[in-house]
Chains A and B, each alone.
Chain A
Amino acid sequence: MTEFVQHIVNGISLGSIYALIALGYTLVFGILQLINFAHGDVFMLGAFIGLYSSKFFGFDQNPSLGALVLIMGISMIGCAAIGYCIERLAYRPLRRAPRINVLITAVGVSLFLEFAGQLFLGADPKFFPQIYQPAGGDMGAGALKVNPLQVMVLVISLALMTALQYVVFKTRLGRAMRAVSFNHEYASLMGIPTDRVISYTFMLGSALAGAAGVLVGLIYPKIEPLMGVLPGLKAFVAAVLGGIGNVTGAVVGAITLGLAESLVVGYWAPTYRDALAFAVLIVILLIKPAGLFGTGRTEKV
């Protein structure tokens, strides 16, 4: 019984990591209908910004909660800037091009970041410093163990999800985003600066990836330029599972995927871990193409 509960706990904590990455995916898709394949790589850059800024400030020597907040802030700002540049340089010039062009460009940007990362950051794994060590050590009862950092990641994912819901549905920017999402040209006729709104969306999504990069670095302290590939794909699956474009769906989808992976590895064959993630994607697309929470868009002909 303890074993089963532990698998559930492991699954939720793994899922909350996917959730953090999936939020950025789903946000950009929701507004632009663009699958930003470079998202996982922005997440990787977030981890590296976290690594180098904590070394710069010397936080690897004296960990504290303040250090974590500051490093996360720096990483989020850095990633927002990178997100802006990617959008400005790679996607905006293609605004009027067919969607497939943008999609291929996204794959290109992703590969560019991965391999430029190998060139400039080095291909060997780096150790992410322990900038924050929660007081009190392990949580949990008896044999059941919970890493306090992972509880924190779950709380942060849920908080960010709520914050995103608020931004998208309750603010002026959010209304503009939804308008752009609904119809890009009409929105601009109504006086909405569409290019700026799209830039903001990218910056917001990339900032989320930056936060995820630092938190993942803290929990799995081995970071490398290709670390974003697989989590990026899994987060994409999670976003599709929940209904891509839907913020709550992304979190629920991610946690479902985390649980499924944890149980498959624990009770069946670890070999099938990645196969399962993509099998889930195929099954969902067959049965419910819009995802668990997705609403099919009705298009007027």
Chain B
Amino acid sequence: MKKRSVVRVFVGIALISVAFTGCTKTKSKVCDLSAGSDTNVIRVGEVGSMTGSEATFGVSTHEGIQLALCQANAAGGVKGKKFVLYSLDDQSKQDEAAAAMTKLITQSKVDAILGEVASGISKVMAPIAQANKVPMITPSSTNPDVTKIGDYIFRVCFIDPFQGYVMAKFAKENLKAKKVAILQDHGSDYSVGLAKFFIETFTKDGGEIVLNQSYNKNDVDFKSQLTAIRAKAPDAIYIPGYYTHVGLIARQARELGVTIPLMGGDGWDSPELKSIGGAALNNSYFSNHYSAEDKSPAVQTFLKEYKETFGKTPDGLAAMGYDAARVLADAMNRAKSLSNTDVRDAIAATVKFEGVTGKITIDKERNAVKPAVVLRVDNGEFKYQSTIHP
């Protein structure tokens, strides 16, 4: 009997835990975006990594989206209807994201989906949106395959061939690098794609890739890879990974006496990058969607409003979330009706939308065409370095 009671306690605790995790609802700090009794509303679904290994991506994007939708509601909404946001956490996991999508579409009956940041997760979500003919805009998934899934899938960011091109060009022209080593996360669609496009551009221009190394998502020790890279004496290392790995890699590289510049992509853009990497990240560069140092009025207004609401400087992913939600609102405004097909057509017809992250034009492949910025990491601050146009 005693045995049983112990087991019961454990099962009880486990069930409670499941119950708790099952219904994490994010409360909006900005305005009330929850569904009330009013049914004459526009339901927007969001799937994001609010927790897990890429948690700051989801949190930033979520804040950007809330800010945009609240502003749209304050201005009277779209076609007399207010926006309602259904936001679900996928814990940075693909299977959770798929479950969240199904829940949003079948239970919450959303009119459009915003998300995800990580390309690997967006690729799981997109087929579900496409099958149900629900328009989906990913704020910042840069892998080209994401929007190839179907004509209901859009993005408001540039794609990896361009991002890889930007860093290859920057390495060659600004850093004067001739030999570059690669360190990629071979389990991540984002990282593998970015590495591939970087190599294509860099070698086409006569550069040399001296070593192409990889790591696993669960690794915390990268010294063996870095030792092998050190032996090839490259001029720079390209690390197209996510911030949690990059911080540790930078630290271990400096411990091994590797002082050459490290380079990466928008996966580096997180306030957590500096807490893990610290001073080891000095002399590093990454491509990103926008710079908070941009003096244009669009960026400065956004900065001010975001700071007033959330008390911090928005990162690139917050800006992308903001732009994604605004592109959606703009398209719904222009659409003939709020039917899925009309909204889809209106998003596809977006031309030169004045976003925080640049002028957004949706091309035939449903990707956004826009410039990228290169940022330098300097004692945890991201300093503007240059802008590279497509």
Interface residues of A (CB under 8 A from B): 2-3, 6-7, 10-11, 13-14, 89-90, 93-94, 97, 108, 112, 115-116, 118-119, 122-125, 127, 138, 143, 145, 147, 220-222, 224, 227, 229-230, 261-263, 265-267, 269-271, 273-274
Using a CB-CB cutoff of 8 Å, which residues 181-231 of chain B contact chain A?
A: 186, 213-216, 218-221, 223-225, 227-228, 230-231
Cα separation A269 to B214 with both chains bound (whole Å): 8
B272: interface (CB < 8 Å): yes
Measured between beta carbons, the chain B residues less than 8 angstroms from A273 are: 216, 219
A123 touches B52 (CB 8 A): yes
The answer to whether A261 and B216 touch (CB under 8 A), given A93-B3, A123-B91, A145-B255, is: no
A93-B6, A222-B248, A261-B224 as given contacts; A122 in contact with B51, CB under 8 Å: yes
Most chain-A Cβ atoms within 10 A of its Cβ — which of B91, B216, B221?
A: B221
For B247, give the chain A residue with the smallest CB separation.
A222
Contacts of A11 in B (CB 8 A): 224
A20 to B180, CA, bound (A): 37
In the complex with contacts A112-B10, A224-B53, A274-B216 CB distance below 8 A = yes
Q: Which A residues lie within 8 Å of B228 (CB)?
A: 3, 265-267
Q: Say whether A270 contacts B221, CB under 8 Å.
A: no
Name B's interface SS: helix
With a cutoff of 8 Å between Cβ atoms, the chain B residues found around residue A118 in the complex are 21, 51, 91
CA distance A108 to B10 in the complex (A): 9
Q: Let me know if B256 is at the binding interface, CB within 8 A.
A: yes
Contact B220 A220 (CB under 8 A): yes
Residues of B within 8 A of A108 (CB): 10
Count, A-B residue pairs, CB within 8 A:
112
**B214 touching A271, Cβ below 8 Å:** yes
Checking B14, B21, B55, B231 against A112 with a beta-carbon cut-off of 8 angstroms, the contacting residue is B14
Bound-complex Cα distance A269 to B184 (A): 13
Q: Can you list 17 A-B pairs, Cβ within 8 angstroms, ordered by A?
A: A7-B224, A11-B224, A90-B6, A112-B14, A123-B51, A123-B55, A124-B53, A124-B55, A143-B257, A145-B255, A145-B257, A220-B220, A220-B248, A222-B244, A222-B248, A222-B276, A263-B224
B53 touches A119 (CB 8 A): no
In the complex the two chains form, what is the Cα distance from A43 to B77 in whole Å? 52
Q: Which of the residues A2, A112, A263, A271 comes within 8 Å of B216, measured between beta carbons?
A: A271
Contact of B213 among A112, A127, A220, A270 (CB under 8 A): A270
Interface flag for B2 (CB, 8 Å): yes
List the 5 closest pairs (A to B, CB-CB), nearest first: A124-B55, A265-B224, A123-B51, A3-B231, A220-B220
Residues of B contacting A143 with CB < 8 Å? 230, 257
Q: Is the CB of B230 within 8 A of A3?
A: yes
| B225 with A265: CB separation less than 8 A | yes
CB-CB under 8 A from A267, the residues of chain B are 228
Are B256 and A6 in contact (CB-based, < 8 A)? Answer: yes
Chain B 270-294, CB-CB to A under 8 Å as 1, else 0, gives: 0010011000000000000000000
Complex Cα–Cα for A115 and B14 (A) = 9
Quick check: B55 and A119 within 8 Å, CB to CB?
no
Which residue on A lies nearest to B21, using beta carbons? A119
Tell me the nearest residue of chain A to B227, going by C-beta: A6
Contact between A262 and B21, CB atoms less than 8 A apart: no
Cβ–Cβ < 8 Å partners of B106 in chain A: none
Q: How far is the CA of A13 from the CA of B244 in the complex (A)?
A: 22
Question: Which residue of chain A has its CB nearest to the CB of B56?
Answer: A124
B257 touches A266 (CB 8 A): no
Assess whether B40 is interfacial by the CB under 8 Å rule: no
A119 touches B276 (CB 8 A): no
